[in-house]
Chains A and B, each alone.
Chain A
Amino acid sequence: MIDAHAHLGKWFNFYYDGGDYLSMVRIMDKIGMKSAWISALIGIGPNYKLGNQMVLEAINAFPDRFRGYAVLSPYFSDEMEEELNLRFSQGFIGIKLHPDTHMYPLDGPRYIYAYKFAGRVRCPILIHTWGERDVRSLMGIARSYPEATFIMGHSGGDIRSMLLAGDMVCTVNNVYLDLTGSAMYNGIIEHYINKVGSEKILFGTDFPFIDPRPAIGWVKSSKIPEEDKANIFCKNAERILSLVKRDA
């Protein structure tokens, strides 16, 4: 099992115990989670560089259990090239953008370097989406950068947007639907399987922002074939990882 949408650390406006990488590994061991692809919560908040450094420390401590997303800030777009070169030389595997917390549209020009980089390196780029506008914007960007692999964070989030995402994702080859979200709508997994097939769906939980266990139970108890669950839980993420070019 691979969690393709996980985090590290604390969040500013609500409380939970733990959030450090040691507590995460303990839970991962308990539930059989092989690895988590993480970005630091402070990174999508006030300090992306500090966040990326915290992720590096987690990777160095548990190289088999964590993979890193480098978070970028649209307010420091002139630093993106240097930051991405540094982080990918340190073993990061993808890019994380959070247009919502940064209050900057995902199709704005300050993200262009990130999209070009992701296309060149063929790395996954996980983008938080919430609402129909975000879904449509991400689809437009994905068509413009066909070499990049886009993970539509939360698949649009609310139910209407998730349904729209399912309708739109089948029109391109480079966008994955991310199951991460607190609602865990009963029936959406089965709907997506019918609509886009299990090869376009990724397992994610927001761990430790949200506990990963309910989402695992949600997928495990869905009424879909076991091979589809294997694609969602693991195989799709492994395939995405195999595309990343280290020498680009």
Chain B
Amino acid sequence: MREYFDFNVMIGEPTVVQLGKWLDTRMLSEEMRRFNIKKAIAYHSYSRDYDAYFGNNYMIKEITGYSDILSCWVLLPFDISPTNTPDELISQLKENNVKIVRLFPELHNFLLEEEVVGDLLALLEGYNVPVLISPNKVGWRDIYSILRNHPNLRLILVDLNYRNSSYIFPLLKRYKNVYIELSGYITYLGIEGIYKRFGGEHMLFGSDLPYKSPGTTIFYVENAEVPEEVKDLIAYKNGEKLIEEVTL
């Protein structure tokens, strides 16, 4: 059974607990064992639904003792962040071994304009820190704008849907550091379509736990009409490389 590296997990109770589904670290570990997920990148629900930095610090405590769960911090623009200088942020990321971050501009009420997040994105771009963002929530024009200003930013597009190919293809054509997390990209022949046009290096496995079962994307990957080595890239290797290349 192929090993997977999951790039889209939330732990902690969200404000809305749908169908009783939420995960603490123990429950996440069980799901990881069930689906042969060897590593997972997770953010905390408190970072999304309460306070970004409270949740980030909570996350660090939650995953103590779980070396296979990597912390994804949720960040805010420097102007409204308690970590209000670039040096402080870098120092905290290093200290807590955080190598990937996520932004929720649509929930946390800030714009993705250069005046608001330009300095933050430039900093992350410089250290090769991947940034997860949901383009269907923030708007695709903002994604295009970010990449025009930060063409080397390692941007992972999450929570996609089956209607997104027309937005995705021009980005993959122009920017070498854009990645597609697959849990929502259930476009017909979607994996094959990206592979055929751009190769297999830009797709990442994600489960969207606790909202979706990892089984959905795993079955899609395992039954894709692409070479086995491309499935390995999607399942694990692309993700591993992204994290290894962080220069913090």
Contacts and interface: CB of A to CB of B under 8 A. Distances in A.
Contacts of A208: 188-189
Interface of A: 13-19, 23, 27, 30-31, 159, 182, 184-188, 191, 207-211, 213-218, 220-222
B26 interface: no
B168 to A, nearest CB: 10
9 contacts: A16-B190, A17-B188, A17-B192, A159-B18, A185-B18, A185-B212, A186-B213, A213-B219, A222-B213
Interface residues of B, number: 35
Given A18-B189, A186-B210, A209-B188, A221 B215 contact: yes
Interface in B95-111: none
Contacts of A210: 162, 186-188
A19 B166 contact: no
B227 interface: no
Contacts of A207: 188
Given A17-B189, A17-B192, A185 B214 contact: no
Interface string B195-222: 0100000000000011111111111100
A185 B217 contact: no
B163 A14 contact: yes
A206 to B, nearest CB: 9
Contacts of A215: 216
A218 B218 CA distance: 9
Contacts of A222: 213, 215
B166 A182 contact: no
A221 B216 CA distance: 8
B21 interface: yes
Contacts of A14: 162-166, 187
